[in-house]
Amino acid sequence: DGGITQSPKYLFRKEGQNVTLSCEQNLNHDAMYWYRQDPGQGLRLIYYSQIVNDFQKGDIAEGYSVSREKKESFPLTVTSAQKNPTAFYLCASSRLPENTGELFFGEGSRLTVL
Amino acid sequence: SQKIEQNSEALNIQEGKTATLTCNYTNYSPAYLQWYRQDPGRGPVFLLLIRENEKEKRKERLKVTFDTTLKQSLFHITASQPADSATYLCALGDDKIIFGKGTRLHILP
User: With bands split at pLDDT 50, 70 and 90, how would you rate the model's confidence at A1?
Assistant: low
Measured between alpha carbons, how far is B22 from B6 in angstroms, rounded to an integer?
6
User: How many CB contacts within 8 angstroms connect chain A with chain B?
Assistant: 60
The beta-carbon neighbor of A42 closest among B42, B45, B101 is: B101
Cβ-Cβ contacts under 8 Å for B3 (sequence gap 6 or more): B25, B26, B27, B28
Q: Least CA distance to B102: which residue of chain A?
A: A42
pLDDT at A100: 62
**What DSSP character marks residue B96?**
S
Comparing B26 with B95, which gets the higher pLDDT?
B26
Residue A20 to chain B, least CA–CA distance (Å): 19
Lowest-confidence range among A9-18, A63-72, A90-99, B92-101?
A90-99
Report CA Rg, chain B: 13
Instruction: Give me the percent of chain A exceeding a pLDDT of 90.
Output: 78
The beta-carbon neighbor of A45 closest among B42, B89, B96 is: B96
* A45/B98 touch (CB, cutoff 8 Å), yes or no: yes
For B94, other C-beta atoms within 10 Å of its C-beta total 12
pLDDT at A99: 54
Residue A14 to chain B, least CA–CA distance (Å): 23
What tens digit of pLDDT does each residue of B32-71 get?
Answer: 899 999 999 999 999 999 998 898 999 999 999 999 999 9
Instruction: Give me the percent of chain A exceeding a pLDDT of 70.
Output: 94
What tens digit of pLDDT does each residue of B76-104 get?
Answer: 999 999 999 999 999 998 788 899 999 99
H or E segment at A56? Answer: strand A54-57
Q: Are A49 and A100 in contact (CB under 8 A)?
A: no
The beta-carbon neighbor of B46 closest among A56, A102, A106 is: A102
What average pLDDT score do residues A35-40 get? 92
The beta-carbon neighbor of B34 closest among A33, A102, A105 is: A102
pLDDT at B94: 78
Q: Least CA distance to A88: which residue of chain B?
A: B41
What tens digit of pLDDT does each residue of B61-78 get?
Answer: 999 999 999 999 999 999
pLDDT at A95: 85
Comparing B13 with B3, which gets the higher pLDDT?
B13
